[in-house]
Amino acid sequence: MKGFRSMFLVTVIASVAVSVRSEEIAMQTPSSTATAAISASWMKESTTKLQHELTAKYGAQQQPRLDRGLGQVAEFWRADDGDQAAFEEFVRTNFAGDQATLDTMFSRFQTLLEQLDGHMHEINREFNQQSDLDAGPVLPFDEVFAGYDPSAHVLDDFFSNKLAFTLLLNFPLTTLDERLKNGPAWSRRQWAEARLTQRFDKRIPADVNLAIAQAAAESGQYIAQYNIWMYHLVDAQGQRIFPPKMRLLSHWNLRDEIKADYSDSQNGLAKQRMIQQVMERIVTQTIPQVVIDNPNVDWNPYTNDVKPAAAKDSDKPAPESMQISNAPEPDTRYATLLKTFNAARKADPYSPTAPTLIARRFDEDREIPEARVKAMLEQVLSSPLVPQVAKLIQTRLGRPLDPFDVWYNGFRPGSQYTEAQLDEMVAKKYPTAAAYQKDIPNLLIKLGFAPDRAQYVANNIIVDPARGSGHAMGSQMRSEKAHLRTRVEKTGMNYKAFNIAVHEMGHNVEQTFSLNDNDYTLLQGVPNTAFTEALAFVFQGHDLELLGLPAPDAKSQAERILNDFWATFEIAGVGLVDMGVWHWMYDHPQATPKQLDQATVQIAKNIWNQYYTPVFNRKDVVLLGIYSHMIDSFLYLPDYPMGHMIAFQIEEQMKKSGSIGPEFERMAKMGRISPDLWMERATGRPVGPEALLEAAKRALSATR
Ligand SMILES: [Zn+2]
């Protein structure tokens, strides 16, 4: 059911953990060949009979609708849905033979499905509360609640009570091709009708949905506990270069620490190289099992030596029967990924028009064909701007590039402040989640929203303290509010958390406008995930101004554009690795975790060697495989580089219009039409990397 698609907990490229929620995945993995047309001899006869009978009753002008509707119902009707008499009775009773009845049916379904989606989402949010919020230990049964999806049977129920058939009898099913070709000429109502029937274009069994939801929850849990205790990393001299109590979640916090370490002139480089070493051991699964989320051992990630901790910085107890050894994590990372693959694959037989998760992700979720996305990523990766920007970074660093410099952050205009200075400012301003909540109207006014609109949106957002680094959870009905989950330490919010909160707030604002201010709730949301990320990036890009620091000047803006260009260069490769790994799994469905480990390492190396080696002069680097999304997010990563491209398109438009607030609102209210159509109406051009590349080119010449 596509109505659930925008309930994903959207994530920030900079730092957020949770991404795709089980219910979203379950709802997006469609269909049923078990529903293939029953070849009952009576079906054709009944259809012909009903065509004549109902055309005579309602008039010839209803005939095209009737023919289409009968075809659509026949396609999904199974023997256990009823015999010939039941089929005919159903059609006679439920065909809306005039416009007034059809309009009533449309609006009543819209209203009631909003209630269904909204309340299911509400239950899901509550059941995930203990896992999502900073609210004490997660007990085993909490994980079961989090893995449970009360909406898993809805699709089945709607086919058995025939409400799905009622829609299929009266409203058109469309293909991606039709939506791309005819969509530009459609009315808003036609788009809403297309989204309405899309919810029922598959008939997937509930047990398959449940298996997918469980795999998603389990992999999420694996990722959420993958911490590295940094004080316990030691070098050859036994030196500790990270501070006590520093616990970093892979990969988000590790990567962000690399970024932060550029401002540590003393130990920065040593820290960055050590983190790279840790990441590589995670990807290759040579990391000792015992060092994962365990402050009771010291670890030299270069030699891989493990010893009992010689210093204590945490009360976290040692794992029971802890064996001090460097026995590697036994490919759990790839076993976990394989579990998500095997769960996702269960839906394939029920999805004849998109028979792989890859096809469902691109054709149905993104609504941009995979080949087109791949071409856009490659266009960025092979841009002649890449070596030029790399050279500039090298000059600034005064040393040859290290592989971890894919996360170079020296282009940030905010780098004039140290992380510590920013942390202090943020902690003072936001000692609690409630303090952030209270400030939302002011933040929105600073972004150009009129005071009444700012207050209106703020009233629709609830801020909760997050267990992870933060996420946004929109609502699915107008009577519910969006939730902003943010990480607040005992010492107050830090800058990283603020940066993420601003991003997530962007999601919440989009969620609010696209649900509450849309002419059709059926069109709530955005065309695909990249769009909501793009809109969130717009907010995130202004985080320093929201702290009351100076707006970036032209030079700073050029810096930021180069930063985004470099980030897109980095994440485009990560996206290609994610795509490559899913293709490999489909090509090798019987693979063992060990084989998947080796394949992933090879794919990461290949992409690196093709696009990164030319500027880094280093071969066979595996860093592109470190993203946690690869393990628990079902081919989500290509959305990030798409997000950057789309963000540039949107941002250029915001600049033209002069103010973020009203333009953001105009765009968010368009809702979930097709990606290219949305973008054309928002900016005058279809989706593509050109805006990013042009901006980067201008920025590069402004920097010289
Ligand atoms: Zn996001």
Tell whether the model's pLDDT for residue 578 goes beyond 60. yes
Query: CA 390 → CA 403, 543, 703, distances in Å?
Result: 12, 26, 13
Among 347-351, 426-430, 488-492, 596-600, which stretch is predicted with the lowest mean pLDDT?
Answer: 347-351
Å from CA of 532 to ligand 1 middle: 7
pLDDT value at residue 7: 29
Å from CA of 324 to ligand 1 middle: 39
State the amino acid at position 413 in one-letter form. P
pLDDT value at residue 541: 85
Å from CA of 355 to ligand 1 middle: 28
Å from CA of 533 to ligand 1 middle: 5
Across-strand partners of 288? 328
- Listed residue (68, 679, 114) closest to 367, CA to CA: 679
pLDDT (tens digit per residue) in 515-546: 999 999 999 999 988 899 889 989 998 998 99
Å from CA of 258 to ligand 1 middle: 21
For 319, phi then psi, to 5°, come to: -60, 150
Which residues contact residue 389 at a Cβ distance below 8 angstroms, ignoring those fewer than 6 apart? 562, 565, 566, 569, 696, 700
pLDDT band, very low/low/confident/very high, at 469 (cuts 50, 70, 90): confident
Tell whether the model's pLDDT for residue 35 goes beyond 70. no
pLDDT value at residue 22: 31
Å from CA of 257 to ligand 1 middle: 19
Å from CA of 152 to ligand 1 middle: 25
Å from CA of 644 to ligand 1 middle: 11
Across-strand partners of 305? 300
pLDDT average, residue stretch 111-124: 97
Tell whether the model's pLDDT for residue 223 goes beyond 80. yes
Å from CA of 536 to ligand 1 middle: 6
CA distance 341 to 359: 14
Å from CA of 302 to ligand 1 middle: 34
Query: CA 21 → CA 280, 398, 464, 519, 634, distances in Å?
Result: 27, 43, 18, 27, 10
pLDDT (tens digit per residue) in 277-294: 999 999 999 999 999 999
Tell me, what DSSP letter sits at residue 610? Answer: I
Q: Do residues 1 and 206 touch, judged by C-beta distance below 8 A? A: no
**What pTM was estimated for this model as a whole?**
0.78
Tell whether the model's pLDDT for residue 513 goes beyond 90. yes
CA distance 314 to 232: 11
Å from CA of 504 to ligand 1 middle: 6
Tell whether the model's pLDDT for residue 205 goes beyond 70. yes
CA distance 19 to 506: 16
Q: Do residues 250 and 285 touch, judged by C-beta distance below 8 A? A: no
pLDDT (tens digit per residue) in 304-332: 999 999 999 999 999 888 999 999 999 99
pLDDT value at residue 11: 27
In angstroms, what is the C-alpha Rg of the chain? 26
Q: Report the percentage of the chain scoring pLDDT > 70.
A: 94
Tell whether the model's pLDDT for residue 17 goes beyond 80. no
Strands 227-229 and 247-249: what pairing? antiparallel
- Listed residue (15, 467, 365, 8) closest to 216, CA to CA: 8
526 Cα distance to chain centroid: 13
SS3 state of residue 484: strand
Tell whether the model's pLDDT for residue 31 goes beyond 80. no
pLDDT band, very low/low/confident/very high, at 8 (cuts 50, 70, 90): very low
Neighbours of 119 (CB within 10 A): 16
Q: Report the percentage of the chain scoring pLDDT > 90.
A: 78
Å from CA of 71 to ligand 1 middle: 40
Å from CA of 527 to ligand 1 middle: 15
Å from CA of 442 to ligand 1 middle: 21
Å from CA of 289 to ligand 1 middle: 31
Å from CA of 512 to ligand 1 middle: 15
CA distance 38 to 181: 31
Strands 305-308 and 247-249: what pairing? unpaired
In this structure, the dihedral spanned by the alpha carbons of residues 166, 172, 173 and 176, taken in order and rounded to 10 degrees, is -160
Tell whether the model's pLDDT for residue 34 goes beyond 80. no
Neighbours of 558 (CB within 10 A): 22
Q: Do residues 170 and 96 touch, judged by C-beta distance below 8 A? A: yes
Which is more confidently placed, 401 or 151?
401
pLDDT value at residue 349: 82
Give first-to-last CA distance, the chain, whole Å. 51
648-670: buried (b, 16+ CB within 10 Å) or exposed (e) per residue? bbbbbbbeeeeebbebbbebbbb
Q: Do residues 58 and 97 touch, judged by C-beta distance below 8 A? A: yes
pLDDT value at residue 579: 98
Q: Do residues 626 and 560 touch, judged by C-beta distance below 8 A? A: no
pLDDT value at residue 42: 93
Which residues contact residue 499 at a Cβ distance below 8 angstroms, ignoring those fewer than 6 apart? 14, 15, 540, 543
Å from CA of 530 to ligand 1 middle: 9
Å from CA of 65 to ligand 1 middle: 41
Å from CA of 239 to ligand 1 middle: 37
Which is more confidently placed, 181 or 38?
181
pLDDT average, residue stretch 444-463: 97
Asked, as a colleague might, if the bond just before 52 is cis with ω within 30 of 0, I would say no
pLDDT value at residue 38: 53
pLDDT band, very low/low/confident/very high, at 415 (cuts 50, 70, 90): low
pLDDT value at residue 662: 95
pLDDT (tens digit per residue) in 481-504: 999 999 999 999 999 999 999 999
Å from CA of 363 to ligand 1 middle: 21
- Would you tell me the crossing angle of helices 690-703 and 370-381 to the nearest 10 degrees? 10
CA distance 250 to 227: 6
Strands 482-486 and 461-465: what pairing? parallel
Average pLDDT, rounded, for the chain: 91
Å from CA of 464 to ligand 1 middle: 17
Residues with CB under 5 A from ligand 1 (ion): 10-12, 533, 536
